[in-house]
Amino acid sequence: MMVQDAVAYERQENTDKVHLEETGTAMASGTRDRCQPEWNWRSSFLLLALSYLLIAILFGIVMSNGSRISSEVKKVHEQLPMKEGLFPCGSQSREWEYFHGRCYFFSTQKVVWHIAKDHCEEKNSTLVVVHNVAEQNFLQLQTKGERYWIGLNDLKAEGEWRWVDGTNYRTSFKNWKMGQPTDYERNEDCAEISVSGEWNDENCNRDNFYVCERPLPS
Ligand SMILES: [Ca+2]
Ligand SMILES: [Ca+2]
């Protein structure tokens, strides 16, 4: 009797175990099935949120760069001393070159010094007065290999050089070629930018190109 009870008990236990395993599997399976949609929903929400965040960051970077570029362009534009776009020296004067707040005209015609002076005055300018090394370098670059009259002469008294605009010669910038001025044959009273870019005194009746200078149009 006891053996039968034990066998019956064991069978019941095995049956319960199998049932429990089946039930457990079913329950686990049921739980997964129920959890699956919830997990997907959370993932989707998370991905969406991350996408929005990424877009927001990218938008911020683009806007920041755009704003920076815009402010750089504005700064450059403000620094340009021009009222007329690409031609600060006047819309009708493409022949005038701009440099450091001034306008320069480089002739394409060779004339004597006095005619050059008159031509510049007709253009509301003067023969160029070279104030400093920066201006000298600019002129030297533009006149390379040719000779150009400048607004300097000792016509009134030999050796007393005068700038046409009254700039004090003694205290101002000079760039004479070594050994110049020579007043060769006592007949060199006008200054030119020579082929080397340095200055030379020359016979005023020689035909040379010339450079006129004027302030920016107001
Ligand atoms: Ca002289
Ligand atoms: Ca000379």
Q: How far apart are CA 137 and CA 139, in angstroms?
A: 5
> Could you tell me if 149 and 204 lie in one domain?
yes
Average pLDDT over residues 26-45: 57
| The pLDDT value given to residue 79 | 56
Q: Is the pLDDT of residue 197 over 70?
A: yes
| The pLDDT value given to residue 18 | 46
For ligand 1, the distance from its centroid to the CA atom of residue 127, given in whole angstroms, is 18
> Could you tell me if 30 and 61 lie in one domain?
yes
φ, ψ of residue 162 in degrees (nearest 5): -135, 140
CA dihedral 11, 16, 17, 20 (to 10 degrees): 170
- Reduced 3-state DSSP string for 2-47: HHHHHHHHHHHHHHHHHHHHHHHHHHHHHHHHHHHHHHHHHHHHHH
| The pLDDT value given to residue 36 | 53
In a domain, residue 86? The reply is no
- Reduced 3-state DSSP string for 141-171: HHCCCCCEEEEEECCCCCCCCEECCCCCCCC
Averaging pLDDT over each range in 16-25, 69-78, 92-101, 128-137, which range is the top one? 128-137
Say what percent of the chain tops pLDDT 90. 55
What ligand is nearest to the CA atom of residue 187?
A: 1
> Could you tell me if 120 and 199 lie in one domain?
yes
> Could you tell me if 45 and 150 lie in one domain?
no
In a domain, residue 88? The reply is no
Contact between residue 214 and residue 123 where contact means Cβ atoms under 8 Å apart: yes
Q: How far apart are CA 134 and CA 100, in angstroms?
A: 9
| Average pLDDT of the chain to the nearest whole number | 82
For residue 74, give Cα distances in angstroms to 70, 109, 191: 6, 40, 43
User: Strand 199-202 vs strand 209-215: parallel, antiparallel, or unpaired?
Assistant: unpaired
> Could you tell me if 46 and 154 lie in one domain?
no
Q: How many domains does the chain have?
A: 2
For ligand 2, the distance from its centroid to the CA atom of residue 129, given in whole angstroms, is 18
> Could you tell me if 68 and 112 lie in one domain?
no
For ligand 2, the distance from its centroid to the CA atom of residue 176, given in whole angstroms, is 9
What ligand is nearest to the CA atom of residue 189?
A: 1
| The pLDDT value given to residue 23 | 45
Which of 9-13, 40-44, 61-65, 134-138 shows the lowest per-residue confidence on average (mean pLDDT)?
A: 9-13
φ, ψ of residue 121 in degrees (nearest 5): -65, -35
Q: Is the pLDDT of residue 37 over 70?
A: no
Q: How far apart are CA 53 and CA 70, in angstroms?
A: 25
For ligand 2, the distance from its centroid to the CA atom of residue 212, given in whole angstroms, is 21
Q: Is the pLDDT of residue 33 over 50?
A: no
Give rounded-to-5 percent helix, strand, coil for the chain: 45, 15, 35
For ligand 1, the distance from its centroid to the CA atom of residue 206, given in whole angstroms, is 14
Write out the residues surrounding ion ligand 2, Cβ under 5 A.
Answer: 180, 182, 188, 200-201
> Could you tell me if 71 and 135 lie in one domain?
no
Average pLDDT over residues 163-186: 98
- Residue position matching structure tokens 């039930």: 23
Question: Which residue, of 35, 54, 79, is where some domain finishes?
Answer: 79
The tens digit of pLDDT for each residue in 95-149 reads: 899 999 999 999 999 999 999 999 999 999 999 999 999 999 999 999 999 999 9
| The pLDDT value given to residue 211 | 98
Q: What is the CATH classification number for the domain harbouring 209?
A: 3.10.100.10
Query: Which of the two residues, 30 and 48, has the higher pLDDT score?
Result: 48
> Could you tell me if 70 and 16 lie in one domain?
yes
Q: How sure is the predictor about 161, in pLDDT bands with cuts at 50, 70 and 90?
A: very high
For ligand 1, the distance from its centroid to the CA atom of residue 191, given in whole angstroms, is 9
For ligand 1, the distance from its centroid to the CA atom of residue 202, given in whole angstroms, is 8
For ligand 1, the distance from its centroid to the CA atom of residue 91, given in whole angstroms, is 39
Question: Which residue, of 34, 53, 79, is where some domain finishes?
Answer: 79
For ligand 2, the distance from its centroid to the CA atom of residue 91, given in whole angstroms, is 38
Q: Is the pLDDT of residue 181 over 70?
A: yes
> Could you tell me if 193 and 122 lie in one domain?
yes
| The pLDDT value given to residue 105 | 96
For residue 9, give Cα distances in angstroms to 20, 23, 45, 168, 174: 16, 20, 52, 128, 124
Q: Which domain holds residue 160?
A: 96-215
